[in-house]
Structure formats: structure tokens, C-alpha cells
Amino acid sequence: MKQLRKKLMLCLTATLAGVGGILCFLVVVLFKHDITTCYVSIPIFFLFVGVMSILTITKNGITYKNNGRKRANKYMLVRVIKIFLGAAFFLLYWLLVKPEDVKGFALTFAVFYLTYLAFETWSFIQVEKKIKNNVQ
């Protein structure tokens, strides 16, 4: 499970860095818009949430092999916490930074959120495969 945890963290970092680089290129080169200082906080936020999610779902993953309901509840709890943390992060930005810049921040946040959602689903599938292979 430790090897899978390392693989998932590496994939998460590479995915967020790739999406961040592509979005930065699009914003600066194609749309001729400046990158705000808060832009960097979005990938860092999703990296932090992702690492916590990976640690949570891979911790004791093998011991829950006979109880799929506990595992499903754990996955759903991770997703709900992520939604609330994302909403709090977005609200904090909206209250602290210029409200005029919220539209660009919201679009960037949405792209990262959807990317992270796809990664999270893929990582859950990888953990389930690992548990299934260890059971048989």
C-alpha cells in the first residue's frame, strides 16, 4: 500500500503541475491577462487536499477488505470534506481579495476542481484494485 501511496502522490503532483502550467500558458499568452498572486494558491490547495485524501484512503485499506460499506463511507466522507474545504477556500478568497477578480478565480478553481475530481476517482479505483488483488 505504501508503494501505491507514493505512486498516487506522484501522479497527483504531476497532474496538478501539468494543469497549472497549461492554464498559466493560456491565461498569460492567449488571453494576455496577468496571473494573480492567488493563482498559485489553487494548485497548492488541491495538492494539500489530495495528499490528505490519499493518506486517508490508503490508511488501513487492506484491513477493511471484508467491509465494503466502511470503505464506501470513508470515500464519501473524504469527498464531502473536500467540497466543504473547497467552498470555504473560495469564500475566503472572495472576502479577502478583489471581488472583480472572482470570475477568473472561479473559472480557474473550477478547472482544477474537475481535474482533481477525475484524479480522485481514478485513485479510488486504484486503491480498490489493490485491495481486490490482495484479497484473492
Counted residue by residue, the chain has a size of 136
d(CA 101, CA 59): 39
DSSP string spanning 82-117?
HHHHHHHHHHHHHHHS-GGGHHHHHHHHHHHHHHHH
> How far apart (Å, rounded) are the C-alpha atoms in residues 42 and 84?
15
Is residue 133 a contact partner of residue 10, using CB atoms and an 8 Å limit? no
What is the overall mean pLDDT for the chain? 82
What range defines the domain where residue 41 resides? 2-135
| Residue 116, amino acid | Y
Please write the tens of the pLDDT for every residue from 61-110: 555 455 677 778 888 888 899 899 999 998 888 888 766 777 777 888 88
The total domain count for the chain is 1
Q: What is the pLDDT of residues 24-72, one digit of tens each?
A: 888 777 766 666 666 788 889 999 999 998 888 887 655 545 567 777 8
Q: What is the pTM of this model?
A: 0.82
